[in-house]
Amino acid sequence: MDRRRFLASAASASLTLALLPKLLRAQEAGGPALARQTLSEAERILGLEFTDAERDLMLQDVAEARAGLGRLRAVGLANDVPPALGFRPLAGGEVPPPQEPRTRPSRVAARPAPADLEELALLSVPELAAMLRARRVSSVELTRMYLARLERLDPALHCVVALLPERALALARRADEELARGRPRSPLHGVPWGVKDLLAVGGARTTWGSRAHREQAFAADAAVVERLDAAGAVLVAKLSCGSLAWGDVWFGGHTRNPWKLDQGSSGSSAGSAAAVAAGLVGFAIGTETWGSIVSPGTRCGATGLRPTFGRVSRRGCMALAWSLDKIGPLARGVEDCALVLDRIHGADPGDPDSVDLPYAFDARRDVRRLRVGYDATAFAQEREEARFDESVLAVLRDLGSEPRPVELPDLPAEDMMLALSAEAAAAFDEFTRSGRDDELDRQTRGSWPNVFRAARLLPAVEYVTSARLRTVALRALARLFRDHDVIVSPTFGGQTLALTNLTGHPAVVVPSGFRDDGTPVSITFWGGLYGEDRVLSLAKAYQDATGWHRKAPPLFGPGANPPATAAFLPDSLLD
């Protein structure tokens, strides 16, 4: 999660949680006057007003609640224990669209093997898969090439938490043996990939980007790792993420943007986006709670897919916010992401919010039949990227689409994100109370330690209110998607990013051009719940027509050896 406008939420202090110790001390002192004064102070923070009689009546309840909090806190809870509450996007009344029976990838011809295998580093998954099936290159050769690039180029990017050469080469040998027998498991068979370090890999460190967890390891693989192993893909590295899934600063350094090494890669899927864009892996897995795939995908010029909430199991992944966390791929092209989703989606008993709903991507879909809208309010805003966004609509019209203006529900989406603050604070409750949050590298107002502490002051009533407003949003978008298949939005314009993370709708972010300084910009395609196939189809048609995703960072071509960078950027350059 990486949003500059993230709400610390201290202004919504909780009377009950914040002031219990002071109230109890006042009671023990023998008089209600100080307690009344303390309550009155709290009321001003909350925008409430009670009478003295009402305040007196509350005091005993406050005292009893304080004792109950102590008993709750005495019960140890691991990060992987979810609340007995579930977020169900379809509760808004939206109907999942019908699906084709199976995924149909593009037909790609295998190219000859180059003398320098690094010339393959920036190929798409379908291109790599075609060469592997035709035996033009082996999985072991690709794996060694990517491992060598990860090791050589990481001093410039700071995107690698751990290389996994033994595991990777064993999987690559198995992949080659199966390909030699004509038994590919999937289009991902033999393709090397990397995983964000929020996901567990059995026996390897899973640090969550946190100095406090840098020696942490789990015995079992995350569900996504299991599914990609089963698909024949070859995991080569754990990739960096901002500490506890915020930003691009972790205990090993500040992950860089391959297009501009004096700039961070954004986050929190920082290493996944940077590694993909620089050609260090064939594809990568990231996570998003509020922008953690979309933002680094934009910054690094990668293509990112945030699937519908519940589409992909989160078992074995660090929990940040149970009603908002999502797992998805980052890659060089839309079809890469579509093929990865085909292998990782589906229900899992280890994630009670995961679902089994059909998914099938057709690379040859006629996008002229898709009903396309665009966020009229966001497109009308003045912003640096407006000229790029307008050009996207022009390309879609050339493709035979007729984007129509739509209006999104007028709701305080960013204020509704107090759900993220509250759930994250609960996920790291003991971590905060024990003082271990002092071990995190960032100790600023816009960092987790401060947000965890401030969120202890959030009222439960407003948390429930924000959840009810999410239902209002779901119902409004359900009406919108009766008449539309895909909506186009400026990536950081309007409220799309916050709103669609709150409702769980799927989104694809793709490069849409480059600024004068050579850094990429993006556009977002998003759609109805579990309607990834339609969103991916339109995004692929746009990519095929423009080719922005085929541009590569100049410093990371074959044989490149960019200069190493300092582990941390100056504070003035932090995102």
For 329, the 3-state DSSP assignment is strand
What DSSP string runs through 18-30?
A: HHHHHHHHHHHTT
Q: Does residue 401 have an active-site annotation?
A: no
Q: How far apart are CA 223 and CA 348, in angstroms?
A: 8
Q: Which of 268, 466, 489, 537 is catalytic?
A: 268
Residue 509 and residue 522 in contact, taking contact as beta carbons nearer than 8 Å: yes
Give 285's DSSP letter. E
Using a 10 angstrom Cβ sphere, with 0-12 exposed, 13-18 middle and 19 or more buried, the burial of residue 110 is middle
- SS3 string of 473-502? HHHHHHHHCCCCCEEEEECCCCCHHHHHHH
- SS3 string of 154-181? HHHHCCEEEECHHHHHHHHHHHHHHHHC
Q: How far apart are CA 418 and CA 415, in angstroms?
A: 6
Q: Does residue 268 have an active-site annotation?
A: yes
Nearest to 342 by CA among 188, 176, 505, 506: 188
Nearest to 521 by CA among 430, 418, 412, 392: 392
* DSSP bridge pairs for 182: none
Report the relative pairing of strands 372-375 and 404-406 from DSSP bridges.
Answer: parallel
Phi and psi of 16, rounded to 5°?
-65, -45
Residue 413: in which H helix or E strand, if any? Answer: helix 413-416
For 52, the 3-state DSSP assignment is helix
CB contact set of 272 (below 8 Å; sequence gap of 6+): 194, 195, 196, 239, 241, 284, 285, 286, 296, 330
Nearest to 336 by CA among 37, 71, 125, 78: 125
Map tokens 């009546």 to a residue: 57
Q: How far apart are CA 403 and CA 258, in angstroms?
A: 33
What one-letter code names the amino acid at 370?
Answer: L
Q: How far apart are CA 150 and CA 275, in angstroms?
A: 8
Residue 283: in which H helix or E strand, if any? Answer: strand 283-288
* DSSP bridge pairs for 470: none
Q: Which of 186, 196, 489, 537 is catalytic?
A: 196
Q: Does residue 196 have an active-site annotation?
A: yes
- For residues 205-231, b (16+ Cβ closer than 10 Å) or e, as one string? bbbbbbebbbeeebeebbbbbbbbbeb
Q: Which of 292, 323, 401, 512 is catalytic?
A: 292
Query: Cis peptide before 295, with omega less than 30 degrees from 0?
Result: no
Phi and psi of 32, rounded to 5°?
-80, -10
CB contact set of 310 (below 8 Å; sequence gap of 6+): 87, 88, 89, 353, 354, 355, 504
Residues labelled as active-site residues: 196, 268, 292
